[in-house]
Chain A
C-alpha cells in the first residue's frame, strides 16, 4: 500500500524558514515524479515544485530562489526547504507523486506565516 506521511508545518513569522518532509512508503521517491502542491485557505490548488526521477528540479515563479525541493533515497523522503517565508505562502502544503501525474498524495501540512 502506498502512503505519503507528511510532517513539519507550523506557525512562523515573515522572513523565517521552515522545512516540510514527506515519508513515502510503497514506492521509491527516486522512481517517480514528486511534487509539492499548496492550497491557500479557501482557494484552489497551486503547483509549487517538482523533482523528477533524474533529479531535475523546477519551481513556480512565486517560490523560485526561496524554496528548495530535495529527496533522500536512503530515507525514501521528499523535502521542501522554505526560506524567506511571506504571508502569501500561508497554505496547506501537499506532497504528491506519480508517473507523470499526481497519483498519490500526502495528508497535507499547514504552514501559517504571520507576525
Chain B
C-alpha cells in the first residue's frame, strides 16, 4: 500500500505570503496525485489533479508540481479564504486504496 506523508503539519503564514506544501509518496505514483482543500464544516474541494492541473474554477494562485514520489502545492499569495487544511491523494497504483495524506493546516500567523 502506498503511504503519503505531508509536510509541514502546520504552516503559519500571513495573508499575501507564499505557501509551499509538500507531499511525498512511499513509491512512485507517476503524476497521479490530487490536492484538496477543506475548510471547517465543509466537504473537501478538489484543487489540483494529475499533479499540476487546476480543477475547474480554481484560481491561478494555486499551482501543483512534481512527479514520481515528490509533489508540491504552491499558493503564490495567500488570500484570507485560503487558510484551511490541504490534503494530497494518490491514485497511482492499481488496485486501490487511493490513500490520502495526513494533511497540512495553513494557519493565519
A residues contacting B by CB (< 8 A) are 35, 37, 44-47, 50, 58, 60-61, 94, 96, 98, 100-103, 105-108
Inter-subunit contact B100/A44 (CB<8 Å):
yes
Contacts of B91 on A, CB cut-off 8 Å? 100-101
Interface residues of B (CB under 8 A from A): 1, 34, 36, 38, 43-46, 49-50, 55-56, 85, 87, 89, 91, 95-103
Main secondary structure of the interface of B (DSSP, over half): loop
Q: Is there an interface contact between A58 and B45, defined as CB atoms closer than 8 Å?
A: no
What 3 A-B pairs come out closest when comparing CB atoms?
A105-B43, A58-B96, A45-B100
Instruction: Report yes or no: A47 in contact with B89, Cβ–Cβ below 8 A.
Output: yes
A-side contacts of B100, CB under 8 Å: 37, 44-47
Q: A102-B34, A102-B89 are in contact. List 8 more A-B contacts (CB 8 A).
A: A37-B100, A45-B103, A47-B96, A50-B96, A100-B49, A100-B50, A102-B36, A108-B43
- Answer whether A47 and B97 are a contact pair too, CB < 8 Å, given A101-B34, A101-B91, A103-B55: yes
**What residues on A are CB-neighbors of B97 within 8 Å?**
47, 58, 60-61
